[in-house]
């Protein structure tokens, strides 16, 4: 019974974290250009996004091949 509960917890954690959606993006805040929000640039794929102050990107925004 404890094995089933452990597997269920692991499955839910994987679904919530969605590692396949991140695609190894590493977001950096670009402080050189400030506008209506905070600009973030991914150093792995070059994707850019602007978010409100205090938020961080969670998913990869790069175009899929």
| CA separation for the pair 61, 18 (Å, rounded) | 14
How far, in Å, are 5, 10, 56, 58, 60 from residue 29 at the CA level?
A: 39, 32, 9, 13, 15
Q: What is the pLDDT of residues 8-52, one digit of tens each?
A: 999 998 888 876 665 677 888 887 766 778 888 888 788 888 888
* pTM, two decimal places: 0.54
Domain ranges of the chain: 22-54
DSSP 8-state symbol, 42: E
Burial of 27: CB neighbours in 10 Å, binned 0-12, 13-18, 19+: buried
């Amino acid at each position: 019974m404890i094995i089933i509960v452990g597997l269920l917890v692991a499955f839910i954690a994987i679904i919530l974290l969605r590692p396949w959606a991140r695609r190894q993006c590493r977001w950096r805040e670009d402080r050189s250009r400030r506008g209506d929000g905070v600009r973030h640039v991914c150093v792995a794929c070059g994707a850019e996004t602007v978010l409100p102050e205090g938020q961080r990107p969670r998913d990869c925004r790069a175009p899929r091949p």
